[in-house]
Amino acid sequence: MSSGFQRSYGRTVNPFVCPKPNSDSILIGGSGDDGERWTRVITLRAARLLWVHLGTYLYPEEFANSARGLNTIPLRGAGLPNITTDLQLDPLDEGECEIVGRGSGSEWSARLDSEHAPLLWAAL
C-alpha cells in the first residue's frame, strides 16, 4: 500500500500527537523505517477522522456504539493555509494499518503495528 506516495514513512514507532501552538492544527509524527523522526501538520478535522478510523479499526465492537454521529466533523476554514486535511486508514496484513494523508496537493503514508496504533489513538 505504501508505494506511489510522495512521502512514505514506512513502519512507524513512538507515535506522538501535540497541538500546534497558536493554531487550530495538530502535529502528529513518529520514527520511521529509516530511524528518522517525522512530523506532519494536520487539521483538527483530520485528527478527529484519524481518531474515529483508528478507534473503529482497533476496537470495532466497543467503538461501533460510541462513535455514532461522529461523521459530521467540521472542515477547516477556507482562509487558512493548506495542510493535511483528509486522512484514511487502510488495514494491512499482520495486524498493521497504514495512515494515508492528503492535502496541499500531496499524499503521505505511515504504517503502524498493533503495539503503536493504540498509542497514537490514545494520544489523539
Residues 103, 31, 71, 77: is their CA dihedral positive or negative?
negative
| In the predicted structure, residue 74 carries a pLDDT above the cut 80 | no
Alpha-helical segments (H) within 2-123: 44-58, 60-66, 117-123
The pLDDT tens digits for 11-31 are: 999 999 999 888 889 999 999
Q: Which amino acid is at 46?
A: A
User: Three cell numbers at 85?
Assistant: 486535511
Grid look-up 478535522 returns 45
pTM: 0.61
By DSSP bridging, strand 7-19 and strand 106-112 are parallel
Q: What is the pLDDT of residues 88-98, one digit of tens each?
A: 899 998 889 99
Number of Cβ within a 10 Å radius of residue 49? 21
